[in-house]
């Protein structure tokens, strides 16, 4: 039967994608449909869900810039928002209980604080999925949102570690050995190549490491996150993350199915869930105000806040702990699950339309803009560059060196990774920090004041090329655009998006390779 559930999830995911919603909404709806027919979660689906979350946290760790968590806009916002949200929710629920509302009648303030804590989180799973769908993981607001979510996840894991009654064993101290043993993990990573061994190494490290943490009474998901962080500085970390991408997404189907399978609520419980979903804009508004006070532009603040416009799967885990400890009625698990699902469904189109929403209300929002901006929010200067290359990986670097030989300082590279930027600058290349998919980058660049005539998109994903083309059109760029593709069926979509030339990496590499190798035969090929 579990297989049929997966098939149903596929068709629902495919269906909602046709109307512009992320497939995860379809997975949720499939779960609710199954629940309405009396289906309950199975061990297989739960296992899929656990694997998905573990791999998600591991891949987040691989991409995590620990230094980024030190930014006040991240840790300050996350801390202040959690404290204020817990207090506001607890006060509101306690007041409703005192007023005689049936669902919360007799609720004491300690229990209200626990529920407030459960509702203070935003979903890491949802945010990462939506940001990846939009191709905006590298945007400043995306990095800020993920940083806040990581801080929340750490708080949740700490809570779970202390509230489950499991005291880490003395053997847990041995886990510190992973730090000096990092060079061993790096040694193995460098020898895995680029195929199935790389994937198997990632799965072994994430899942095996998580299990090892569990054996010493430390939350396994935290272990997966920390092991990912250990490798995050390595040049191959991004490749490993991409290699696990499909597995992570596959297993997360189980996670979203599980939410829907949590059960159908009574009318009173559904009403309470709707009420909780309705007040989510208060969470969003609080995020916006806090981020703006930390000197982020109002556009960055609003987009980051909208990315966090939901409740979190960790709320269900906190609720389950409360039920098992006798602090919370079991009905609250259903209420939190339904409100979580509602916010997921509402947040999907909200995130899709986030840029349009900003354009409509930007005049109103500007009044909250801090007069002093952070360095990463200040205008970008590319000098007299005529050519911009986005994505300074192997392809971008080769294109830069080739064009620089011909045009000299007229070429400027752009990359979202500050370590990559620093490396290229040390090598003498003119590279700035930024992302073609980040609307803030284009608003900070002021294209009308530049000499840019040609833009090369050496980006890893087709979706990122399309997003970059949209951003360029909105920014009023009138020059030429070229992009790389991996599949011929992507070329037409790029051309329709306004990209003038698309080059198939494999075809062009093959042609270049043949031309280069033909010199080995001299003037005439053998047999000519």
pLDDT tens, residue by residue, 34-86: 888 877 777 788 888 888 888 888 887 887 767 667 788 899 999 999 999 99
CATH, residue 403 = 3.40.50.720
Question: What is the count of structural domains for the chain?
Answer: 2
End-to-end CA distance of the chain: 63
In a domain, 324, yes or no: yes
Give the domain-ending residue among 330, 349, 368: 349
Q: pLDDT, tens digit, for every residue of 13-29?
A: 898 878 766 687 788 78
In a domain, 209, yes or no: yes
pLDDT value at 1 more than 60: no
**Residue 303: band (very low, low, confident or very high) from pLDDT cuts 50, 70, 90:** very high
Q: Does one domain contain both 13 and 106?
A: yes
User: Looking at the DSSP assignment, which residues form a beta bridge with residue 456?
Assistant: 389, 482
Q: Does one domain contain both 330 and 391?
A: no
DSSP annotation of 65 reads -
In a domain, 59, yes or no: yes
Q: Does one domain contain both 319 and 460?
A: no
CATH, residue 186 = 1.20.1530.20
pLDDT value at 469 more than 70: yes
- Cα 297 from chain centroid (whole Å): 20
In a domain, 298, yes or no: no
Residues 6+ apart with CB under 8 A from 385: 409, 410, 411, 412, 430, 450, 451, 452
Q: Does one domain contain both 323 and 455?
A: no
User: For residue 396, which of 335, 332, 483, 468 has the smallest C-alpha distance?
Assistant: 483
Q: Does one domain contain both 345 and 392?
A: no
* pLDDT of res. 246: 81
Q: Does one domain contain both 184 and 224?
A: yes
Q: Which domain holds residue 337?
A: 2-278+306-349
In a domain, 437, yes or no: yes
Q: Does one domain contain both 274 and 399?
A: no
Mean pLDDT, residues 117-144 taken together: 82
Q: Does one domain contain both 425 and 514?
A: yes
Q: pLDDT, tens digit, for every residue of 243-288?
A: 887 888 888 888 878 777 766 677 888 889 899 999 999 999 999 9
Q: Does one domain contain both 323 and 192?
A: yes
**Percent of the chain at pLDDT exceeding 70:** 89
Residue pair 331/171 in contact by the 8 Å Cβ criterion:
no
pTM of the model as a whole: 0.70
Q: Does one domain contain both 274 and 416?
A: no
Q: Does one domain contain both 333 and 386?
A: no
In a domain, 374, yes or no: no
In a domain, 370, yes or no: no
**528 to 157, 200, 515, 522, 525: CA distances (angstroms):** 70, 47, 16, 11, 6
Q: Does one domain contain both 320 and 188?
A: yes
In a domain, 369, yes or no: no
Measured in degrees and rounded to the nearest 5, phi and psi for residue 122 equal -110, 160
């Amino acid at each position: 039967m579990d297989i049929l559930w997966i098939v149903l999830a596929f068709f629902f995911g495919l269906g909602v994608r046709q109307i512009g919603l992320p497939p995860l909404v379809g997975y949720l709806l499939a779960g609710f449909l199954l629940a309405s027919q009396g289906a309950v979660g199975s061990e297989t689906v739960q296992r899929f869900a656990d694997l998905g979350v573990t791999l998600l946290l591991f891949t987040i760790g691989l991409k995590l810039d620990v230094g980024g968590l030190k930014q006040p806009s991240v840790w300050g916002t996350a801390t202040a928002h959690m404290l204020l949200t817990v207090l506001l929710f607890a006060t509101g629920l306690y007041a409703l209980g005192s007023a005689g509302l049936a669902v919360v009648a007799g609720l004491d303030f300690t229990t209200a604080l626990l529920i407030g804590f459960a509702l203070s989180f935003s979903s890491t799973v949802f945010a990462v999925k939506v940001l990846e769908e939009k191709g905006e993981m590298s945007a400043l607001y995306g990095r800020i949102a993920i940083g806040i979510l990581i801080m929340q996840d750490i708080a949740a894991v700490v809570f779970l570690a202390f509230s489950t009654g499991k005291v880490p064993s003395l053997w847990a101290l041995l886990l510190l050995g992973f730090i000096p043993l990092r060079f061993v993990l790096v040694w193995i990573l460098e020898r895995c190549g680029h195929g199935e061994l790389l994937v198997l190494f990632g799965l072994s490290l994430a899942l095996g490491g998580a299990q090892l943490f569990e054996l010493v009474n430390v939350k396994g998901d935290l272990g997966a996150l920390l092991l990912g962080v250990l490798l995050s500085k390595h040049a191959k970390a991004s490749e490993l993350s991409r290699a696990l991408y499909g597995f992570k997404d596959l297993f997360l189907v189980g996670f979203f199915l599980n939410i829907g399978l949590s059960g159908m609520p009574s009318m009173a419980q559904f009403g309470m869930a709707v009420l909780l979903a309705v007040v989510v804009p208060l969470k969003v508004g609080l995020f916006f105000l806090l981020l703006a006070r930390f000197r982020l532009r109002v556009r960055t603040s609003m987009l980051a806040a909208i990315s966090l416009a939901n409740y979190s799967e960790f709320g269900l885990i906190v609720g389950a702990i409360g039920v098992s400890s006798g602090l919370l009625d079991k009905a609250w698990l259903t209420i939190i699950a339904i409100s979580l699902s509602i916010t997921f469904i509402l947040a999907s189109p909200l995130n899709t339309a986030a840029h349009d929403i900003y354009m409509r209300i930007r005049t109103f929002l500007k009044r909250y803009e801090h007069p002093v901006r952070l360095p990463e929010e200040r205008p970008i200067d590319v000098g007299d560059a005529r050519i911009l290359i986005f994505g300074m990986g192997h392809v971008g670097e080769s294109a830069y060196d080739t064009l620089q030989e011909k045009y000299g300082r007229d070429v400027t590279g752009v990359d979202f990774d500050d370590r990559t930027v620093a490396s290229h600058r040390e090598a003498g290349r003119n590279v700035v920090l930024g992302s073609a998919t980040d609307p803030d980058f284009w608003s900070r660049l002021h294209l009308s004041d530049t000499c840019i005539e040609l833009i090369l998109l050496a980006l890893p994903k087709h979706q990122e090329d399309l997003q970059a083309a949209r951003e360029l059109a909105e920014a009023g760029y009138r020059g030429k655009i070229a992009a790389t593709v991996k599949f011929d069926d992507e070329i037409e979509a790029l051309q329709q998006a306004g990209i003038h030339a698309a080059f198939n990496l494999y075809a062009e590499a093959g042609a270049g390779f043949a031309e280069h190798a033909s010199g080995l035969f001299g003037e005439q090929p053998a047999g000519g």
